[in-house]
């Protein structure tokens, strides 16, 4: 798969996930298998303001090539400035634009999965990004639409291709679905039929490597984007590389091997935070994902999930039964799930799909990364 000048094999992309896909986690995934590994979402306003937190979030490890940044923005001028800054300061090799985030603080400002409903505003943003990207490829990640009554993905795919975007990725759910229900892989197939000029990538309900192969067979998509399926399981990328290369071999680490990766992950996070305690606190959300399916008592799980230092975490990990084999039946959903009762939108957002005005204070409450 080619994304602009970048050749990607296997055709696998790590989905940008807030608070997850920072450098330590990306490095762990890259060590397991090849692909394209995208950092967590960065707001364009925060980037051009050189917000301290944001500048820390866009740091890459020396081993990371190509470097991929995902940007979130609502104002075409600010998006253009952010893209130009990335190019001029050599901050990344690939830029992805977020039109899929369903969280209220983003959609109520017209951003994320709400934005493609405004077709002309979407076009202005894509045009500004591509015009300022120079040799760097620009891609987009989006959802089917706001809800089943306001689907936008086919129009958005056509606009992206017309504006010079290098690839489009579709999370086959609406914003209202959030992470609930079942991903609509048929929508990925329809997008592929509609947008044939550039690669189309599918996202949603890939819990194991065989799911990825099945998605490609069923939809004709050019590649896959993996999000929640790799939570606590960076070795999924080894499985994906094997699968796309025709091998049936799958990673089945013992609990001891998982524990070693857990400690490396936590240790790596200390470089992303100002204090070890903050890094360990951030790591706590990963504990349940790493231990999913293993026989670990509730008391020890609690000890690991409340550790406040690397030494404390190591002491807990040393208590695990290191020879315990990889548990069966773990290729199941991970992370958040459930639908939303409604999608929060700016007042009057649905009145005119062709309006290209930028909502007032569009990014006022998301500056800072």
Catalytic residues: 101
Report how far residue 334's alpha carbon sits from residue 230's, in angstroms, rounded to the nearest whole number. Answer: 8
3-state secondary structure of 331: coil
Segment (H or E) for 168: strand 167-171
Instruction: With CA atoms as reference, report the closest residue to 45 among 361, 362, 367.
Output: 367
Task: Concatenate the DSSP letters of all residues of 53-106 into one string.
Answer: HHHHHT---TT--S-EEEEE-S-HHHHHHHHHHHHHTT--SEEEEEE----HHH
Burial class (CB in 10 A: 0-12, 13-18, 19+), 92: buried
Cα separation, 60 vs 146, in Å, equals 33
- For every residue of 97-133, DSSP letters joined together read EEE----HHHHTTT-GGGGGGSHHHHHHHHHHHHHH-
Angle between helix 310-317 and helix 276-290 axes, rounded to 10 deg: 30
Token code pair at residue 362:
């569009």
């Amino acid at each position: 798969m080619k994304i602009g000048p970048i050749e990607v094999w296997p055709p696998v992309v790590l989905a940008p996930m807030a608070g997850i896909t920072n450098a330590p986690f990306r490095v762990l995934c890259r060590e397991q298998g090849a692909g394209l590994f995208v950092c967590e979402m960065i707001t364009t306003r925060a980037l051009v303001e050189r917000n301290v937190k944001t500048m820390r979030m866009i740091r890459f490890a020396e081993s990371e090539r190509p470097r991929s940044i995902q940007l979130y923005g609502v104002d075409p001028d600010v998006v253009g400035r952010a893209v130009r800054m990335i190019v001029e300061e050599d901050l990344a090799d690939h830029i992805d634009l977020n039109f899929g985030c369903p969280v209220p603080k983003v959609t109520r400002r017209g951003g994320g999965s709400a934005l493609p409903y405004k077709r002309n505003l979407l076009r202005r943003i894509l045009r500004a990004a591509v015009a300022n990207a120079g040799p760097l490829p620009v891609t987009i990640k989006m959802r089917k639409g706001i809800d089943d009554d306001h689907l936008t993905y086919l129009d958005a795919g056509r606009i992206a291709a017309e504006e010079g975007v290098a690839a489009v990725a579709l999370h086959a759910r609406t914003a209202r679905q959030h992470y609930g229900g079942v991903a609509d892989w048929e929508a990925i197939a329809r997008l592929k039929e509609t947008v044939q000029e550039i690669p189309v990538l599918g996202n949603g309900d890939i819990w194991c490597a065989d799911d990825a192969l099945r998605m490609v067979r069923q939809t004709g998509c050019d590649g896959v984007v993996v999000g929640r399926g790799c939570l606590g399981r960076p070795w999924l990328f080894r499985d994906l590389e094997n699968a796309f290369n025709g091998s049936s071999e799958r990673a089945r680490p013992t609990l001891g091997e998982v524990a070693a990766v857990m400690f490396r992950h936590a240790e790596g996070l200390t470089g992303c935070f100002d204090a070890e305690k903050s890094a360990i606190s951030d790591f706590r959300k990963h504990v349940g994902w790493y231990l999913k399916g293993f026989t670990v008592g509730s008391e020890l799980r609690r000890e690991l999930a409340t550790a406040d230092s690397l030494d404390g975490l190591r002491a807990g990990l040393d208590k695990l039964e290191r020879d315990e084999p990889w548990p069966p039946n773990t290729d199941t959903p991970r992370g958040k799930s459930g639908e939303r009762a409604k999608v929060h939108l700016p007042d009057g957002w649905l009145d005119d799909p062709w309006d290209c005005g930028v909502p007032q204070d569009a990014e006022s409450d998301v500056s800072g990364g």
